[in-house]
């Protein structure tokens, strides 16, 4: 019983964070390419290279005209699926590559931000735990018995 309550809390945390993150993708207007270049120019110094990488990566995703919005919609949709009891497994499976990507972004581009690294690592761990909890639903896909 206590384990089920724990997984409900974990689902609420992960789903809530993903819905919040998805909404945040649409809060600010996408900057123009000229504004991105001007912002990037401020961080040309070698000691500010990590900040420049983050600015170029995130704004590059925004400049595609679709990727940032698709990511926001996916975070919203999969976060909502996790919050709903009947579809939480499907939401967790679909969200796994997104939480991995978020964690790796912070690991490689913001390794000095320990709090964010722990937070995103925690979200990835929660997501992994939610998928592994339902291993009976998918373990047969790993090894198909020959006929």
Q: Which domain holds residue 124?
A: 2-24+32-136
Q: What is the pLDDT of residues 87-118, one digit of tens each?
A: 999 999 999 999 999 999 999 998 888 999 99
Own/partner pairs, 5-14, CB within 8 angstroms, 24+ separation: 7/129, 7/130, 7/133, 10/126, 10/129, 10/130, 11/82, 11/83, 11/88, 11/130, 12/83, 13/123, 13/126, 14/79, 14/82, 14/92, 14/95, 14/99, 14/123, 14/126, 14/127, 14/130
Q: Is residue 46 part of a domain?
A: yes
Q: Is residue 144 part of a domain?
A: no
> What mean pLDDT do residues 19-40 have?
91
pLDDT value of residue 13 = 96
- φ/ψ of residue 43, rounded to 5: -120, 35
pLDDT value of residue 111 = 85
Q: Is residue 37 part of a domain?
A: yes
Q: What is the pLDDT of residues 31-71, one digit of tens each?
A: 888 888 888 888 888 888 888 888 889 999 999 989 999 99
Q: Do 83 and 122 touch, CB atoms closer than 8 A?
A: no
Q: What is the DSSP letter of 147?
A: -
Q: Is residue 82 part of a domain?
A: yes
Taking the model in full, what pTM does it have? 0.86
Q: What is the DSSP letter of 49?
A: H
If pLDDT is split at 50, 70 and 90, which confidence band does 19 have?
very high
- In the chain, the number of structural domains is 1
């Amino acid at each position: 019983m206590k384990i089920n309550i724990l997984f409900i809390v974990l689902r609420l945390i992960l789903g809530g964070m993903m819905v919040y993150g998805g909404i945040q993708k649409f809060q600010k207007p996408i900057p123009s390419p000229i504004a991105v270049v001007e912002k990037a120019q401020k961080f040309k110094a070698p000691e500010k290279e990590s900040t420049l990488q983050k600015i170029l990566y995130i704004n590059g995703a925004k400049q595609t005209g679709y990727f940032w919005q698709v990511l926001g919609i996916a975070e919203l949709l999969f976060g909502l699926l996790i919050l709903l009891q009947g579809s939480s497994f499907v939401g967790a499976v679909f969200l796994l590559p997104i939480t991995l990507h978020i964690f790796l972004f912070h690991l490689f581009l913001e390794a000095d931000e320990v709090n964010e690294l722990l937070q995103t690592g925690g979200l990835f761990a929660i997501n992994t735990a939610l998928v592994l909890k339902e291993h009976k639903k998918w373990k047969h896909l790993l090894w198909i018995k020959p006929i």
